[in-house]
Amino acid sequence: QTVVTQEPSFSVSPGGTVTLTCGLSSGSVSTSYYPSWYQQTPGQAPRTLIYTTNTPSSGVPDRFSGSILGNKAALTITGAQADDESDYYCVLYVGSGIWVFGGGTKLTVL
């Protein structure tokens, strides 16, 4: 069974830069997994930030970027703002029509 790993929590100062990662319990993440990132605040539907590694969704500020760093997918927020405080989820395509989400990272901006 594929497990997608994310940091449970992270903290960043306003104006700072933070990189959240998305890995596999076994193996390396590559572009072939179409890693994608979503932001969610309590009570709201997820909002797509980045899809297929590094393509920003429409209307997403350019302070959000996606990449592959080492053996993981990464979401970098440059110049964090207070309203970036949210839960962030990644998802990977693991083949045979199956998608697996990570457990999410709770980002605190303080």
Partner 1 sequence: EVQLVESGGGLVKPGGSLRLSCAASGFTFSSYSMNWVRQAPGKGLEWVSSITGSSTYKYYADSVKGRFTISRDNAKNSLYLQMNSLRAEDTAVYYCARQGPFDYWGQGTLVTVSS
Give the interface with partner 1 as residue ranges (CB under 8 A).
34, 36, 38, 40, 45-48, 51-52, 57, 87, 89, 91, 93, 96-104
Taking CA 88 as the corner, what is the angle to CA 84 and CA 89, rounded to the nearest 5 degrees? 160
Q: How far is the CB of 108 from partner 1 (least distance, A)?
A: 17
Residue 7's CB is within 10 A of a number of other CB atoms, namely 18
Shorter beta-carbon distance to partner 1: residue 9 or 17: 9
Q: How far is the CB of 66 from partner 1 (least distance, A)?
A: 11
Shorter beta-carbon distance to partner 1: residue 11 or 99: 99
Where b means 16+ CB within 10 Å and e means fewer, 74-94 reads bbbbeebeeebbbbbbbbbeb
Q: How far is the CB of 15 from partner 1 (least distance, A)?
A: 28
Shorter beta-carbon distance to partner 1: residue 82 or 98: 98
